[in-house]
Amino acid sequence: MRVLIFVVAFEAETTLEKVLARIPRSVFEHDAEVLVIDDSSQDRTFEVGFRSGLSRDYRTTVLYNPRNQGYGGNQKLGYQYAIRHGFDAVVLLHGDGQYAPESIPALLAPLIEGSADAVFGSRMLIPGVSRAGGMPLYKFVGNKILTFAQNTLLGSRLSEFHSGFRAYSVAALAKIPFGYNSNVFHFDTEIIIQLMLAGQRIVEVPIPTYYGDEICRVNGLKYAKDVVLTTIASRLHGLSIFYDRKFDVTGRTNTHYDLKLGYSSSHSMALDAVPAGSRVLDIGCGPGLFDEQLAMKGCRVTGVDQFPPARPDAFERFLVWDESGALPELDLRQYDFVLLLDIIEHLKAPEAFLEGLRQAAHSVERRPTFIITSGNVVFGIVRLQALLGNFNYGKRGILDLTHTRLYTFASLERLLDQCGFEVERLAGIPAPLPQALGLNAASRALVRLNQLLIRFSRGLFAYQIFVVASPRPSLDGLLEQSMKTARAKAAALSTTFDA
Euclidean distance between the first and the last CA atom of the chain, given in angstroms as a whole number: 106
Q: Considering the domain delimited by 2-247, tell me its CATH architecture.
A: Alpha-Beta Complex (3.90)
Dihedral over Cα of 147, 153, 158, 161: its sign? negative
Closest Cα partner for 38 from 4, 61, 21?
A: 61
What is the 8-class DSSP label of residue 407? Answer: B
CB 245 within 8 A of CB 182: no
- Rounded Cα distance, 46 and 205, in Å: 31
Q: Where in the chain is the domain with CATH 3.90.550.10?
A: 2-247
472 pLDDT tier (thresholds 50, 70, 90): confident
CB 167 within 8 A of CB 91: yes
CATH class of the domain defined by 266-478: alpha beta
pTM, rounded to two decimals: 0.72
255 pLDDT tier (thresholds 50, 70, 90): low
Mean pLDDT over residues 286-313, rounded? 91
Q: Give the pLDDT confidence of 404-446 residue by residue, as tens digits.
A: 899 999 999 999 999 989 999 999 999 998 887 788 999 899 9
Q: Where in the chain is the domain with CATH 3.40.50.150?
A: 266-478
- Rounded Cα distance, 83 and 100, in Å: 25
Of 169-178, 211-220, 288-297, the one with minimum mean pLDDT is 211-220
Q: Is the pLDDT of residue 207 over 90?
A: no
Bridge partners, residue 206, by sequence? 122
